[in-house]
Amino acid sequence: MGFKAGFVAIIGKPNVGKSSLVNELVGEKVSITSPKAQTTRNRIFGIKNTKDYQIVFVDTPGVQHTQTKLGEYMKVATDGATADVDAIVIVLDALRINQEDYKIIEKYKSVKCPVFIVVNKIEVTNFEKMYPILAKLNEFKFIKKFITTSAIRKINIEELENELVKCLPESEPFYPTDEYTDKSVRFMCQEIIREKALLYLQEEIPHGIAVEISSFEEGDNLVKIDANIITENLRHKQIIIGSNGSMLKRIGVSARGDIEKLVSKKVMLNLFVKVKKDWKDDINALIDLGFSKKDI
Ligand SMILES: Nc1nc2c(ncn2[C@@H]2O[C@H](COP(=O)(O)OP(=O)(O)OP(=O)(O)O)[C@@H](O)[C@H]2O)c(=O)[nH]1
Ligand SMILES: [Mg+2]
């Protein structure tokens, strides 16, 4: 049989583990993850290459209802991700399956491609607790297969991949077979910095943050990066900087480590914090930050 290639959309509520699954399936850190909902804001391709096939996993922002223009951008990124794919995977969090998930599942009952349900975080529950929920899910007769996974413990990741490969048509690869994402190094750097901000900052602050790379100079042995953390107000700016710059330093040190792994060079990272009031609702600010609906 010839080479197979195709696209698989990964969708679901925020925080169910979509990006964690994509990272495990691809075997590379493609998408940032965090315990806070609405971590992923863009449509991100994670590309798994083997000698027999190429699967392009389409990671998406969690399905949600926000009123901002950024929220609208995220919704467009998610809704459009399921067009022209070879399979759709709806991810559920084993401990938080509810009406919202059923609504998402219902939306895909008439699509042409196979639809899979993945119940993730399975290691935190057990079969007795899951049984009534799985029985209820079974009522969705159009679902091709139910698979339980744990991205954290790497349970059933290969099994999931094997099922998805079966849905791919014979085709030439869509991307060079030595690439694992469609995103630029700059984008990956922005996301790494945002991931550390999500990790260290409390409550609502990380949701109001965006990151822009203002300068990126790559030398033979050293990459010099200047980046701005954009925030909505002065109070948040002070918290992000921390006393004597301690929080900004913490975010910077941690991000630098990951960026060094990404670029395989030493990195000098200078972080700044800028206030842009209401940037999430300001079309021009969003376009400047790379959130343009035209570019999805
Ligand atoms: N216990 C457990 N936690 C998991 C598992 N998979 C992911 N998580 C955690 O769940 C949280 C959310 O994971 P993400 O991969 O960022 O979730 P997401 O669905 O991409 O979230 P959004 O991008 O916000 O839509 C993180 O803290 C992950 O570490 C799992 O199998 N078990
Ligand atoms: Mg995500």
Q: Determine the residue of 11, 19, 26, 33 to mutate for testing ligand 1's pocket, defined as the one with the most ligand atoms within 8 A of the Cβ atom.
A: 33
What tokens were used for 30? 């493609």
Confidence at 202, pLDDT banded by 50, 70, 90: confident
Which residue's alpha carbon is nearest to atom 16 within ligand 1?
A: 33
As a whole number, mean pLDDT of residues 186-215 equals 94
Is there a contact between 70 and 98 (Cβ–Cβ < 8 Å)? no
* DSSP for residue 168: P
Is there a contact between 73 and 293 (Cβ–Cβ < 8 Å)? yes
- Taking the alpha carbons at both ends of the chain, their separation in whole angstroms is 33
Which residue's alpha carbon is nearest to atom 8 within ligand 1?
A: 17
Q: Determine the residue of 10, 13, 15 to mutate for testing ligand 1's pocket, defined as the one with the most ligand atoms within 8 A of the Cβ atom.
A: 15
Prediction pTM value: 0.97
Which residue's alpha carbon is nearest to atom 1 within ligand 1?
A: 121
Do β-strands 222-231 and 210-218 pair in parallel, antiparallel, or remain unpaired? antiparallel
Domains and their CATH numbers in the chain: 4-165 (3.40.50.300), 185-295 (3.30.300.20)
- Pocket around ligand 1 at a 6 A CB cut-off: 14-20, 33-35, 37-40, 61-62, 120-121, 123-124, 150-152
81-126 pLDDT per residue, tens: 999 999 999 999 999 999 999 999 999 999 999 999 999 999 999 9
Which burial class, exposed, middle or buried, applies to 132 when counting CB atoms under 10 A from its CB (0-12, 13-18, 19+)? exposed
Confidence at 295, pLDDT banded by 50, 70, 90: confident
Q: Give residue 219's pLDDT.
A: 96
* Res 275 pLDDT > 90: yes
Confidence at 173, pLDDT banded by 50, 70, 90: very high
E runs forming strands in the chain: 4-12, 44-49, 53-59, 87-93, 115-120, 143-148, 210-218, 222-231, 266-275
Question: Which residue's entry shows tokens 């990404």?
Answer: 262
Q: Give me Rg for the CA atoms of the chain.
A: 20
